[in-house]
Amino acid sequence: MQRSSRSRIRSLQVFDTELNADTVEWCPVSPHHSILACGTYQLQTQKEEEDVPPRRTGRLYLFKYQTEAFMSPLTELQRIDTPAILDMKWCHVPVSGKVVLGLATSTGELQLHALCDSQEGSSCLQTLSSMEVGAERLLLSLDWSTGRMDSSSDVRVVCSDSAGSVSVLSWDEGGLKTLSQWKAHDFEAWISAFSYWDTHLLYSGGDDCKFKGWDLRMGPSSPTFVSKRHSMGVCSIHSNPHREHILATGSYDEKVLLWDGRNMRRPLSETSLGGGVWRLKWHPTQQHLLLAACMHNHFHILDCQQVWCHADANGGSCPVVASYVLHNSLAYGADWSRLTPSPSPTQAKETLTEVGGHLRIQYESPTASLDTFLEDDSGQYIPEDITASSTTGDGLHPERDVTSFLVASCSFYDHVLHLWRWDRTAPDACS
């Protein structure tokens, strides 16, 4: 049985991205964990008399997280105008000594940017390479083969696009090279992802409601499986870098499914989240924590521990252990940081409130000051200086057992990036 935990979520900073924000990624490569990238997508409508297609423009932001700064810890380092960005991912390991960020753009290009030292002594991105993966299509997603942080000379990237195709590319000093490309879905291929444990295997999901597996050794002539378990378009897939065979999928049908890749006939777990699941991210060190961006229903953190404990009990759901509800628009981008935020002086003596408290926010614009408060399940205000005994009823010591997580998220039409922290007392392991 799992012990109940105590939890608190705090908003740390809100940044106005000006253009619609849809993707955010922390750098996974040491010692650059404090670097955060955010991508935007803006549809520039034309005048009715102009017989030209609308333009899609974007902007790439680069930030640095200052661990010692309790107020506004994110500092903007750089902004680069680009085609509209639909997805982006850092390569998990250096490639030829370079820390590389990949962008999937509205022009069908895969762009690679290298993290470099600027003349001012900070960090900046410089264009490394680009390639048109497909003409007259949007590149919708990308994933690197390096999710388990394994250094390898065989670094590949998989992309999916609006024509329903999936492409696998390699990159080295000579630039990008297409290894294979095939028609994978009838409509938009919203997502593509590697199995981090066997990078000959990859997965794709599309607007045809199908979730498919592929083995690059067998060629793309036919998938290894086709699942129709999701009832709407499949838009998120992420392989668990800590547990072999485990992967998560999300869909417009508002469900998160956990799978064991050895048995794709039925999922291990099914969780309804009340909003289309656009992005899923396993925590980089905590194998059981899954972050979900749920479009019309905020951001949620799922605890999948009980799935590991009771793998034979198929069909259950994963509990939502925390929710961030401060965005006022489509919840699209979210990512865990590998950093542990330090407590501020005013937080050092605070205890945590029970799960069930709901964070609420009041502000009039993306750049306004925040007014946050907590409510309990009955809607009553929970004071910030709530006091409690030094131990909970079951002997847990919150001041000694609290783990803090740092998360960045972004939303679309209100064009904002949020930085927030989640403090949690660790629950017991399975018994």
Instruction: Answer yes or no: CATH 3.90.1150.10 is held by domain 17-298+312-340.
Output: no
Residue 397 or 268, more confident: 268
The 10 Å Cβ neighbour count of residue 337 is: 22
Question: How far is Cα 125 from Cα 118, in angstroms, rounded to an integer?
Answer: 9
The dihedral sign for the CA sequence 395, 372, 349, 283 = positive
Q: Where does the pLDDT of residue 47 fall: very low under 50, low under 70, confident under 90, or very high at 90 and above?
A: low
Question: How far is Cα 128 from Cα 116, in angstroms, rounded to an integer?
Answer: 11
pLDDT of residue 220: 83
Count of residues for the chain?
Answer: 431
Q: Above 70 in pLDDT, residue 51?
A: no
Question: How far is Cα 80 from Cα 121, in angstroms, rounded to an integer?
Answer: 18
CB distance 253 to 230 below 8 Å: yes
Residue 138 or 357, more confident: 138
Q: Above 70 in pLDDT, residue 286?
A: yes
Q: Is the peptide bond before 31 cis (omega within 30 degrees of 0)?
A: yes
The 10 Å Cβ neighbour count of residue 55 is: 13
Question: Exposed/middle/buried for 214, CB within 10 Å: 0-12, 13-18, 19+?
Answer: buried
Return the closest-CA partner of residue 88 out of 59, 124, 64.
59
Arithmetic mean of pLDDT, 339-354:
56
Question: Exposed/middle/buried for 281, CB within 10 Å: 0-12, 13-18, 19+?
Answer: buried
Q: Where does the pLDDT of residue 373 fall: very low under 50, low under 70, confident under 90, or very high at 90 and above?
A: very low
Q: Above 50 in pLDDT, residue 153?
A: yes
Q: Above 50 in pLDDT, residue 396?
A: no
Q: Which of 60-74, 279-293, 333-347 has the lowest mean pLDDT?
A: 333-347
pLDDT tens profile 81-133? 999 999 999 999 999 899 999 999 999 999 999 999 877 778 999 999 999 99
Arithmetic mean of pLDDT, 8-18:
95
**Is 198 in a helix, a strand, or coil?**
coil
Q: Above 80 in pLDDT, residue 25?
A: yes
Residue 313 or 75, more confident: 75
Question: How far is Cα 89 from Cα 281, in angstroms, rounded to an integer?
Answer: 12
Arithmetic mean of pLDDT, 173-195:
94
| pTM (2 d.p.) | 0.87
pLDDT tens profile 129-140? 999 999 999 999
Question: How far is Cα 311 from Cα 313, in angstroms, rounded to an integer?
Answer: 5
Arithmetic mean of pLDDT, 201-210:
98
Residue 287 or 312, more confident: 287
CB distance 428 to 305 below 8 Å: no
Give the DSSP H or E segment for 398. helix 398-401
Q: Where does the pLDDT of residue 263 fall: very low under 50, low under 70, confident under 90, or very high at 90 and above?
A: very high
Return the closest-CA partner of residue 236 out of 245, 220, 248, 254.
248
